[in-house]
Chains A and B, each alone.
Chain A
Amino acid sequence: MKRKSLLTTLLIYCTLVGLGLIFLVPILIMLSGSLKIDTRVLIEAGSLAGLVPEQPSLENYRDVSTRVPFIRYLVNSTLITSSIVLTGLLVNSLAGYAFARLQWPGRDALLFTVIALMIIPLEAIAVPLSYQVTLLGWRDTYLVQILPFVANAFSIYLFYSFFLDFPKELEEAARIDGAGPVRIFFSVVAPNAKPVFATVAILTFLTQWGSFLWPMMVTHSEAVRPLPLGIAAFYTLPPLQWGDIFAFGVMMIVPVLLLFMAFQRWFIRGVATTGVKG
C-alpha cells in the first residue's frame, strides 16, 4: 500500500515536472537568446547546451531601446491595460452582482444574452466594430483601445457565479445594520470577494497585455501603440535580429510575471472558487 502510494507520488511528480518543462522551456530559450549575440541565437536554438549562453551580454536589451521606442510602448500598454483592468473590475463586478442578487425586470433574459456573448470571438466583430469607431472618430487613440474591452461577458459571468455563492446572510446583516445596496457592495461584498477580483484582474491583464489584432486595426502611430505592436515592428526593421526580439519579449513578460506573483495566492483561490479552467 505504502509502496503504491510512493509510486503514485513519483508518477505525479514526473508528470508535473514534464508539464512544467513544456511551459518553461520556451521562456528559457527566449531568456537565453536575449543574452546571446544575434548570430548565435538561431544556430544554438535546437541544442540543450545552447540554453546556456557562452558569453552572456545585455547588448540586445540596449539595442531594443535604441531601435524602437520601448518605453513609449511600455507606457502605452501599461496605461491601456491597467485602465481596462480597473474600470473592468468596477463595471463587471457591479454587473455580476446585479445579475446574481438584485431583482429587476428582464434580468434573466439579459443574463442569457451576456452568457451567449461569451462565445463570440473578437475576430468576428472586429470589422464592424472598427467601422463604428471610425465613424465616432476614435481611431488612433487610447480610448479606442480601452472602451470596447471594459465590459466583458466572461468577467461578468465569473463575478456572477462567485456572487451566487456569496453568503446571503452577510448582505442581510448589513441591510439590517442600515446599509443600502451600494454600501453593501463596497463595504461587505467586495472586500470578501478578493479571489474573484484577482482572477478577473489577471485574466483581463493577460488578454489585454498580449492584444495585437485590435490595436493593429485601429492605431497607426507609435504614440498610442502597445507592446505587441512594438515587437512586430522589428520585422519591418531589417536586419531581422532575433536577440533583440527575444530581449523585447523578456521585457514584455516581466510585468505579467510580477503581477502574477503579487496576486498568486488570490488567483489560485479564485480559480478554485469560480471554476475557471485552462
Chain B
Amino acid sequence: MATIAFNQVSKRYDENTTALNALSLQIDDGEFIVLVGPSGCGKSTVLRLLAGLEQPSEGEIAIDDKVVNDLMPQQRNIAMVFQNYALYPHMSVRDNLAFPLRMHHMGKQAINTRVNEIAQLLNLAELLQRRPKQLSGGQKQRVAMGRALVRDPSVFLLDEPLSNLDARLRSQIRADIAQLQLRLRKTTIYVTHDQIEAMTLGHRVAVMNRGELQQIGTPEQLYNRPQNIFVASFIGNPGMNIATTEVFAQNNDLHAAVCGQTLHLPSAVQGYNELSRSENVGYIGVRPEAFRLSQVDGCVALKAYISAVEYLGAESLVYFHLSSHDHAHDNTTWIARINGHVDATIDQSIEIFLDPGAIHWFNSDGSNAIFDTCQSVQPRR
C-alpha cells in the first residue's frame, strides 16, 4: 500500500524532445489510476519514471512521502506488467514467477509456497511447467500479472497490458484486473490508449496529450465536464462534436453562429450568465447523444444534411453536415447517436434537435471550458 506524488516532474531526451512536461499528480493509497492518451503523449514515460527505468530531468517523485528519484527500480517495491509481457523465454512459468523472489534471496521453501499461492490465485497451477512460447496470449498475460504480484509490491504498474489480446479476451481480463485490484487494494497505475479500458477500470482517469496532463477526474467528470477540447474529443466514442462558433447578443438573447446556422440560446439555458459574460467563446461541443430527431420542449432545431447512417443494432450513428454541399460554410462532419434504426437517405435534409443546456462551450484556443455543465462527482472506490 502506498501513496504516490509527482511534483513538477519533467522528462526531456534532448532540447527538442520533451516527453513529459511539469507533471504534478497525487495518487492515494489503494487508488486505481488510469493514464490515457494517444501514442507519444507521455503516459508510458510516467510509468517508467515511477518504476525507476528512467530518471526525471526535473521534479520529484515520491512514494509514501519518500523521494525515490535516486533509488534503483528494485529498491522502490514496485512491480510492472509490460505491454508484451516480458516473460523470460528460457524459463518455465514456475521459474518466471520465482525469479523476483530469488532476486530477493527468499528461501527455496518460501518461494515454492508463494509461487503456488499466486498460481492458485490466477489459475496458473496447470501451466507451471510450461515455457512462455507454449502459452496463449491470455495465459501469458496472467503469468505476467503473477510475476508482478508475487513479491507483494506496494505499487502495481501496468503498461497497456491488454493491447496484444483479442477483443473478447480483453473485456474478460479487464474485468479480472478490476476484480483483482478491488480484492488486493494495491495502488495501481494503468496506462492505456483505449478509453473504454480507462473509463471502466479507473477510480480516476488522467488524460494526457503531448507530454502534459490535460485533466484528471472520475470517468463521469471527464465525460460530462471536459476541461478542454482535447479531452472532449478524446473521451467518448464517438468523441464530442467540436466546431468553431461565434456567440453574439441580439434582442436580449444570445445566439451562436455554427457552420452557417444560428442557434438561439434562451436566457433560461444553463450557463447563460457565464456565456453572456465571456468574450472569448471559440468552440462549441456537443455529445452525439445530445441530438434528437423529434422535438422536445426547450430544444432548438438545426437543419442537417445527412452524409451517412451506420446502424449498430440498439442505436444508429447519423453523420451529417450543417451546410448543404452547394453552400458549404464549413465541412465539419457531425455525428448524432440516435436510439434504434434511423430511416434516412444520404443527402436528405432533416431537422435535428438539440438541448442548448447540453452544449459545451470552449474558449477560442480550445484550452478551457467556459463553464461546467454538470455537478461534481466523487471518485468511485
- Chain A interface residues toward B at CB < 8 A: 167, 169-170, 172-179, 183, 187-188, 191-192
Contact = CB atoms under 8 A, between A and B. Distances in A.
Contacts, number: 56
Contacts of A167: 84, 86
B103 A178 contact: yes
A188 B88 contact: yes
10 contacts: A169-B84, A172-B53, A175-B52, A175-B53, A176-B52, A176-B79, A177-B147, A179-B103, A187-B99, A192-B90
A178 B103 CA distance: 5
A173 B89 CA distance: 12
Contacts of B78: 176
Number of contact residues on B: which range applies? 20 to 34
A187 B78 CA distance: 21
B196 to A, nearest CB: 25
B86 A170 contact: yes
Given A170-B88, A192-B89, A177 B82 contact: no
B168 interface: no
Interface in B68-111: 72-74, 78-80, 82-84, 86, 88-90, 99-100, 103-104
A173 B103 contact: no
Interface of B: 51-53, 72-74, 78-80, 82-84, 86, 88-90, 99-100, 103-104, 147, 151
A177 B52 CA distance: 12
Given A188-B88, A191-B90, A172 B103 contact: no
A176 B80 contact: yes
B74 A178 contact: yes
A196 to B, nearest CB: 14
Contacts of A183: 103
A254 B52 CA distance: 52
A183 B74 CA distance: 13
A176 B74 contact: yes
B89 A177 contact: no
B149 to A, nearest CB: 12
A178 B88 contact: no
A172 B86 contact: yes
Contacts of B53: 172, 175-176
Contacts of B74: 175-179
A206 to B, nearest CB: 27
Nearest to A177: B100
Contacts of A192: 88-90
